[in-house]
Structure 1
């Protein structure tokens, strides 16, 4: 997760959650459940094998891994190979290390192109789906007193725009994000004609961004959405119009288990059942929980509590897996129950 949660779902009792989400439906047999992790940058002392074993125990089939630098290629290759032996696909999310504020559009395009081409050229036969960028649209959201593209001023008394419409993005910043994504997309396609490119937003109503990048010629095959709050059906109705399958590459109960493990377990279970219910209607192929492991080094922030599994300090190695949280068991139950029935 690379942005703050603005507000949380209130913890719901089971009946309240059912009223909100509706009765669960039948699961798609090929639906992909996965989780997020940071094996390239975090968890010193915890092997990739241990992480993948946890995913396998949950019944998950995908691991979303943030990837930043060309020199991480061989480590990513080993993760991909370790995943294959367990029936787990790796979903790399390519996040170029750039300065959107300072770098030019040409520089941003080149950085995106180079990173995508580097990784995908090497791993195109092992990895079929690549996520390009992470919540990049946030940089371009219009702020108080800035000029919209239609020549009107965004009201000075308002907060940062909600991202729902195309005018909610500030042109001079948007073109930089566009250059980065276009570079990633075109670098990926130059490396392979068949890999699927996944591009999207942080959720939170940021729907206008898709209209803009489609108009500006960015190519993608999978629409990405993030979900931490509220019922997503109205957003899915809009996303489905683009005619591409939808992947939820981040979702969880707001604040994870910061308030209580039970709240996270109940919230995640309801969200999973709701996604399963809507999968066929809106062509939702996959959903990745954020995240597999807690990150206690972020305490007291909620980002320390988003995992399904606790970690404990293990000096001098770093960290060790501690115990599964209540949400771990709830998630495992939902994945195992192919009918989607609530028990």
Structure 2
């Protein structure tokens, strides 16, 4: 029965994971991890030698990750990769090939060890229940998914099932647990906010919510009429009467999926001299769209993660209606940098 693995990668590496059809892990100082023996004690020794600064409590956990990545993953096993940069849950199948690809000679933080993946589907986080999202928020880089295999695999193959055996790896050190608690608290809150907005506001209500948020940020705004907005949902100004440039034309998309170039190009096509374009979505933007933002001073993009940050920043200023829609309270979590 195939295993179902969860895997985390930093944004820089994760951006290439889909296009290159691979997942990667680090430990660049240890070279080609596939050359390591099938022995956890030997792997622990190799980690301690390559990284003498490592805490002793962290070494067994990291040795377990390397052991699984090199020796336990089989062709046909499934992988679930939650990508932070676009808030998607990517599900694929390992094809069995191990790749070692060196980077710059001084790149001690690189991710040269990879396994090839056939990606089978990419799904917004909002399509999964909170318990499933919590499971893939594990503190470990590579781990077995045990409790929600049916939910994840059901997205790409309703006939696939199976529960992996219990993991016997060492427990993580306190700093790893604290860091994960902080990250999971932030991600859980972000998931909750985006799901609430997506499920409880219609498209037109979402436009009014964005207008309200912009007002709380100091802009003068008006929502356009649904029948004749020309693709523009909100008009925003810096001055109180709305006569002085610049004029900000806002397009709002309540979708949690990815926004492509065509959609953003439609917004840009409405702009004339003295006007700027703002595109707001609960989802994410394709990499090429983000590149357009960097090259165009008249374009700004706000994805789900950035929108969440703005909501939290201005939460106390939101009207009671929206605070009721998105009930939040302040908590304190570990800040380990």
User: TM-score scaled by structure 2?
Assistant: 0.23
User: TM-score scaled by structure 1?
Assistant: 0.23
Q: Which has the larger radius of gyration?
A: 2
Say which structure is richer in strand. 2
